Amino acid sequence: MAVEEARDIDIVIFDKTGTLTRGEFGVVEEIVAENWTNERAMALTSAIEADSEHSIALALRNEADSRNLELPEVTDFKALKGRGVQAVADSRKVYVGGPRLLEMLEIRPTDAMMEFGERNEKSGRSVVYLILEEVAAAAYALADVVRPESKIAVRELQKMGIEVAMLTGDSRDVAESVAKELKIQQYFAEVLPQDKDTKVSDLQSEGLRVAMVGDGVNDAPALTRADVGIAIGSGTDVAVESADVVLVKNDPRDVVRVISLSKASYRKMVENLVWATGYNIIAIPLAAGLLAPFGILLSPAVGALLMSLSTVIVALNAQTLRRVNLGEV
Ligand code: ADP
Ligand code: MG
């Protein structure tokens, strides 16, 4: 059982977007190439993102909405997992995506855009580019916020002697900035969705017992691969299906609670076994007359009394678990 396995986890890997962060982006800065206006670039970007479920797409659509932009028509929408999206506008291929998209298309943005990207990523903002005919036409910096509960969860896990790592499809600079803020030493950046579960199995082959925490967006296979998969983030359907444990509130501190509860349940199980067998070890031989030569013999009545007493003790002992469950960690 997953909760039982959670007790001897060596490392907890958190997905970044939507798990350690809220996954609610806002557009905070933009830059467009020559011959482009902010309006035209944003309208095209939003149109390309129309069918994407990614939180970055939602932010870009909201931004275009709030500017009352009229969107051009696009067709042939396709999601490029972990990289961005592509579509066709005016019979031309258009893309919106992050660093792994630029790498795939072998595109180098202008110096001004590169500077824009580096500066924003260093301060933890995700940067995506609008690409038209092999050229970067615009770049957007999107800010997400780290959940305040994440910091507490990371610290508590580290105090328990459990390693904490972060996994993300986002750029190295963004990952470093978020990891620093949360005091996470180990992080893996620019990991494509299909490689997230490989990271989990790499750690498992080092002999570590791995818990993976994610929101199911691009990390469902990793949740399945982990010894304990924990879904967060109002549970996307995939996350609920792939995970062993679903946290109904979007609170990373509940990861600490699951592990503490599992350790406590195990302790109780051992204690209960001792109580229950203790009765048998001591009372049965007594009842059988083992100490009869020394004048000690358990009458059937006392034996029965002890028997129910041991059940009461086991029940009471299990009850104390409630305090662990409800208490703050
Ligand atoms: P994480 O691993 O942090 O949860 P994802 O794997 O969901 O992130 O996405 C990784 C990166 O892929 C994003 O940071 C972004 O650069 C790019 N990306 C994914 N989907 C989109 C999209 N719909 N529009 C633009 N960029 C996207
Ligand atoms: Mg994610």
CA–CA distance, 203 with 205 (Å, rounded to integer): 5
What does the pLDDT read at residue 247? Answer: 82
CA–CA distance, 256 with 251 (Å, rounded to integer): 10
Which tokens in the block code for residue 24?
């609610």
What spacing in Å lies between the alpha carbon of 169 and ligand 1's midpoint?
A: 6
Pocket of ligand 1 contains residue 215 by CB under 6 Å? no
What does the pLDDT read at residue 201? Answer: 96
CA–CA distance, 186 with 270 (Å, rounded to integer): 34
Q: Which atom of ligand 1 is nearest to the CA of 217?
A: 7
Residue numbers annotated as active site: 15
pLDDT averaged over consecutive 10-residue blocks of the chain (329 residues)? 75 94 94 96 98 93 96 96 94 95 94 96 95 96 94 96 95 95 95 92 96 87 92 69 80 90 74 68 66 64 65 63 50
DSSP assignment string, 52-75: --SHHHHHHHHHHHHTTPPPPP-E
Q: Phi-psi region for residue 72, left (φ > 0), alpha (ψ -120 to 50) or beta?
A: beta
CB atoms within 10 A of CB 322: 9
What does the pLDDT read at residue 180? Answer: 96
Question: Which of 17, 103, 195 to probe ligand 1 with, by most ligand atoms within 8 A of CB?
Answer: 17
Which among 122, 123, 103, 119 is positioned nearest to 111, based on CA atoms? 119
Pocket of ligand 1 contains residue 56 by CB under 6 Å? yes
Q: Phi-psi region for residue 26, left (φ > 0), alpha (ψ -120 to 50) or beta?
A: beta
Contact 207, 184 (CB under 8 A): no
What spacing in Å lies between the alpha carbon of 312 and ligand 1's midpoint?
A: 55
Give the up-direction half-sphere exposure of residue 232: CA atoms within 13 A in the CB hemisphere: 26
Give the chain's largest Cα–Cα span: 106
What spacing in Å lies between the alpha carbon of 312 and ligand 2's midpoint?
A: 47
Amino acid present at 35: N
Based on C-alpha coordinates, what's the Rg of the chain? 28
Contacts of 3 (CB under 8 A, 6+ apart): 245, 258, 261, 262, 265
DSSP three-state, residue 213 = strand
What does the pLDDT read at residue 329? Answer: 41
What does the pLDDT read at residue 328? Answer: 44
Burial (CB count <10 Å: 0-12, 13-18, 19+), residue 29: middle
Give the up-direction half-sphere exposure of residue 22: CA atoms within 13 A in the CB hemisphere: 11
pTM: 0.78
What does the pLDDT read at residue 326? Answer: 45
Rounded to an integer, what is the distance from CA 287 to the centroid of its chain? Answer: 56
